[in-house]
Structure 1
């Protein structure tokens, strides 16, 4: 069988899986219609030419990027430029950016960044490599350093320098990139500096082991809520001050981002049309008392400020503290969920592969994120096949509509998992809602369009499936409001909504972006039919 025939066979198989997914979800007609054979055929012609596919997928409407780390989404070139403008340097020893003032004149270790592209373009290129995984897949870089190590070490290297407004610039640039990818909604993982007081207060309180010991000596499975509540009670006065301060900070942040992108002016950037919400992030490689403080601050802020729509947990899942405290973290989430049941969680889980940890640690991470912590979405989920009763886990995720955020480039670079080793087809076969996202596109040197390309070229995904993934990204986002597919708009296929549908659109930010997406698909499909016959090989 030729490679083209293999791809065609793979697409036929996945098309059948997609149809099964639609039936399993029980979704309305317009929301999850079966693939259009004519559109799939046109798209398949484009897929035979990667350059044409890139041209087409750049135009393809992408509902949302739901898994995007603010700092990791920034390209090294931007970090270098911001640091140079602020008088920063680069340390050859630590391979990291250094904030101004850089130190004594004549320090051979420090390279002044201002003017470096003209003075030494080769060194500039080396710095870009040090702050990213550029061309790692092509074998560029030190062969003894894994993609995993090269990826995660970039964060410490790029985090210094850049000026006081670096955080705002990161977010403004993330919106610009989303607009370039034709993305309507960005759910950005970021933090709030106002939470620091809560975290420091919790860190100052000695940690009391909250595990409830079992009488038979088996490993404990639950926490003593009274111990946790006592700690939280001590933090409440600090939280009461920090939460309003965070809201004030977010107001200033919004204004600064709008100014950078010229929103509200005669010539606003396309970034101004991208809807932005935030996910607050918990750092899993910290001591328990710090993690508790992070959670306490995050849950309170999401409840208080609608710009913050959910909570995630990050840092390497195979890190020693992450592995040691994984069960603890899931139960801490469960404790806070009893107090804040409406705060949604999307959790990094199953970002693992054989060899990163002992096999025993591959057997329960996704399951506990779903069953104990109550996650509404799972980030990565690569190790799902290693979970105990993986088939039952997949069935539950499908039944409860717990979406999985797939990050193909990241999984390749960090975990070495790609192509037929990737579980994307497994999730689709089980009927689990799938979305495509970027993870850390600046570090990985990718964009959302490239993730869609990889889904087509490596996984054989058809146009109908990509369209559904794009729709899923808004449906399973944490953007507020009713879904377009749950009410009077569900079975419409027109550019003008009926009065009942219009009422939904006015009340629901989510439905409005979903409506925008449907209209964008109408235009895209007409354009695709015109472009492909002219340019297909």
Structure 2
């Protein structure tokens, strides 16, 4: 992405000035369940030596992180993932207008107080003003990053709902060129249909009765069909935009992509429940959809008021749809943003009540009641935390030593790096890995295991290549593949059966082969 480096968190906080954790050492466990330091392989040791040798050489360091295999992208919102420049071009292609007072895209015709979005093609000042309004570009230090970040979605929303397939082709290209092999991205399926069905059904505090009303007469089934048809249309647009199946197909075509159904947590309870039920039905009936997630600011009054109710909704629906996955934005809060009592339980309830399989952000961990117990539960159940460093800094002002990244790791909680809304944030996943390495002094083997975790805790079906709890016990191959060498043909029939028969193991094996090639290319430290 051309904007890489426009907002550098690591420049603001040198690693040498940072403590090792987001909490005082006395609050860390004396002996957590994290894996004991493993002995690097010769290839890992040589690659780590190379990394250390180029830490003060920006060009070489940047190339190292760009070319390093980085697994999967698990936490991002499609509408906020593509570049702002591409959104402006789409607005121009669609003949949209821009309200010049608010810099919001609106449908044509362009009346008083608006101008054609196409003007941005020739008017550089107008183009740059749109970039600043629709992203965090040039956002001033000390400004209200939280509100500006979330306001961008309303400003470009008229663009993004029209082109799911084109947005996916653009972002999937970026993910593939970042040397990632898997993408889960969030969208709102059949949004208008879900809104109408919820309004027709209304609210009933008896969740079982409410579910029966939604499904009566095949109404929810019809909504699922609408969402599938919408996904089919998006897929067709994606294939056309990415030129899949042609001699000029784009990198996006080789990426494994899955959808996560967004639920608008700030909406009425009946609409939230309807979106949840729709997402879970989709996850069980269409392999393109894998999970449900709650979106919108966690600190909104309506979000805070209904948080525990929404966790109970998910718990109820998980009993009805046990094969659907759940990953939740939880703990995207910080002191001063909400009252102390609202910091006390969000991650704990997501894990304990809704039984989420992953936590998005999880920034306020150490401000929750019995946070140590929550962290131990997450470690024991392998509930991963999705960490987008840049958006945490932009929205909450949390970075470096204040971030619980190292606290989660010290408790053995699986951690995966993510981008959240890279188009809005003006970054990419390479930026996040590079920031993590510099800020927390991570070695190459530690970075490699973060990338491994992004596939291990992805919602990909099939047995894993790794045995046991890899975060706690280390990444050890299952007995069937012990002794096999990634990058060369598999010899064992049992291992071949696993790799060819399990989508998860197949992705993991491909990544191990990519690591072997990457390590072979960085065998000699720079002097």
TM-score, normalisation: structure 1: 0.86
- Cα offsets for 1:395-441 (capped at 9, x unmatched): 11111110000010000000000011111010111111110000000
- Cα offsets for 1:261-311 (capped at 9, x unmatched): 111112221121111001011110001011111112111111100110111
- Cα distance in 2 for residues equivalent to 1:160 and 1:475: 36
Counterpart position of 2:149: 151
Distance 1:491 1:424, change over 3 A: farther
Distance 1:265 1:318, change over 3 A: same
- Cα distance in 1 for residues equivalent to 2:63 and 2:14: 20
- Cα offsets for 1:439-462 (capped at 9, x unmatched): 000000010100111101222222
Once the two structures are TM-superposed, the CA of residue 42 in structure 1 deviates from its matched residue by: 2.3
- Cα offsets for 1:157-196 (capped at 9, x unmatched): 00114794x2211111110110121111000111222x64
> Is 1:123 the counterpart of 2:126 in the alignment?
yes
Match of 2:227 among 225, 234, 246: 246
- Cα distance in 2 for residues equivalent to 1:161 and 1:529: 46
Counterpart position of 1:496: 489
Moved more, 460-469 or 250-259: 250-259
Match of 1:160 among 158, 178, 182: 158
Counterpart position of 1:200: 196
Match of 1:132 among 121, 135, 143: 135
Counterpart position of 1:406: 387
Distance 1:229 1:259, change over 3 A: closer
Counterpart position of 1:356: 337
Unmatched tracts of structure 2, length 5 or more: 1-12, 468-477
- Cα offsets for 1:462-499 (capped at 9, x unmatched): 21111001000000000122212144235533322222
Counterpart position of 1:323: 304
> Is 1:298 the counterpart of 2:306 in the alignment?
no
User: Are the aligned partners of 2:95 and 2:116 in contact in 1 as well (CA < 8 Å)?
Assistant: yes
Match of 1:172 among 169, 173, 176: 169
> Is 1:231 the counterpart of 2:213 in the alignment?
yes
Once the two structures are TM-superposed, the CA of residue 111 in structure 1 deviates from its matched residue by: 2.0
SS of the equivalent of 1:155 reads helix
- Cα distance in 2 for residues equivalent to 1:23 and 1:466: 14
Once the two structures are TM-superposed, the CA of residue 374 in structure 1 deviates from its matched residue by: 0.8
Residues 381-396 of structure 1 correspond to what in structure 2 (within 5 A)? Answer: 381-396=362-377
- Cα distance in 1 for residues equivalent to 2:15 and 2:369: 35
Distance 1:490 1:20, change over 3 A: farther
Once the two structures are TM-superposed, the CA of residue 366 in structure 1 deviates from its matched residue by: 0.3
- Cα distance in 1 for residues equivalent to 2:82 and 2:269: 29
Distance 1:291 1:9, change over 3 A: closer
> Is 1:307 the counterpart of 2:288 in the alignment?
yes
**C-alpha RMSD over aligned residues:** 2.7
User: Are the aligned partners of 1:190 and 1:280 in contact in 2 as well (CA < 8 Å)?
Assistant: yes
- Cα distance in 2 for residues equivalent to 1:201 and 1:33: 56
User: Are the aligned partners of 2:72 and 2:180 in contact in 1 as well (CA < 8 Å)?
Assistant: yes
Distance 1:353 1:33, change over 3 A: farther
- Cα distance in 2 for residues equivalent to 1:198 and 1:427: 36
Counterpart position of 2:347: 366
- Cα distance in 1 for residues equivalent to 2:227 and 2:15: 56
- Cα distance in 2 for residues equivalent to 1:291 and 1:197: 13
- Cα distance in 1 for residues equivalent to 2:132 and 2:150: 13
User: Are the aligned partners of 1:89 and 1:102 in contact in 2 as well (CA < 8 Å)?
Assistant: yes
Match of 1:522 among 499, 503, 516: 516
- Cα distance in 2 for residues equivalent to 1:322 and 1:490: 48
User: Are the aligned partners of 1:86 and 1:163 in contact in 2 as well (CA < 8 Å)?
Assistant: no
Moved more, 375-384 or 77-86: 77-86
User: Are the aligned partners of 2:88 and 2:120 in contact in 1 as well (CA < 8 Å)?
Assistant: no
> Is 1:23 the counterpart of 2:20 in the alignment?
no
Match of 1:274 among 248, 255, 258: 255
Once the two structures are TM-superposed, the CA of residue 206 in structure 1 deviates from its matched residue by: 3.2
- Cα offsets for 1:193-219 (capped at 9, x unmatched): 2x64344222223323x2xxxxxxxxx
User: Are the aligned partners of 1:7 and 1:460 in contact in 2 as well (CA < 8 Å)?
Assistant: no
> Is 1:181 the counterpart of 2:173 in the alignment?
no
SS of the equivalent of 2:118 reads coil
User: Are the aligned partners of 1:85 and 1:162 in contact in 2 as well (CA < 8 Å)?
Assistant: no
SS of the equivalent of 1:492 reads coil
- Cα offsets for 1:111-141 (capped at 9, x unmatched): 22224342x21221111100001133x63xx
- Cα distance in 1 for residues equivalent to 2:160 and 2:314: 34
User: Are the aligned partners of 1:82 and 1:163 in contact in 2 as well (CA < 8 Å)?
Assistant: no
Moved more, 317-326 or 509-518: 509-518
TM-score, normalisation: structure 2: 0.88
Counterpart position of 2:404: 423
User: Are the aligned partners of 1:407 and 1:451 in contact in 2 as well (CA < 8 Å)?
Assistant: yes
Counterpart position of 2:62: 54
User: Are the aligned partners of 2:261 and 2:292 in contact in 1 as well (CA < 8 Å)?
Assistant: yes
User: Are the aligned partners of 1:83 and 1:163 in contact in 2 as well (CA < 8 Å)?
Assistant: no
User: Are the aligned partners of 2:203 and 2:210 in contact in 1 as well (CA < 8 Å)?
Assistant: no
- Cα distance in 2 for residues equivalent to 1:5 and 1:417: 15
Counterpart position of 2:114: 110
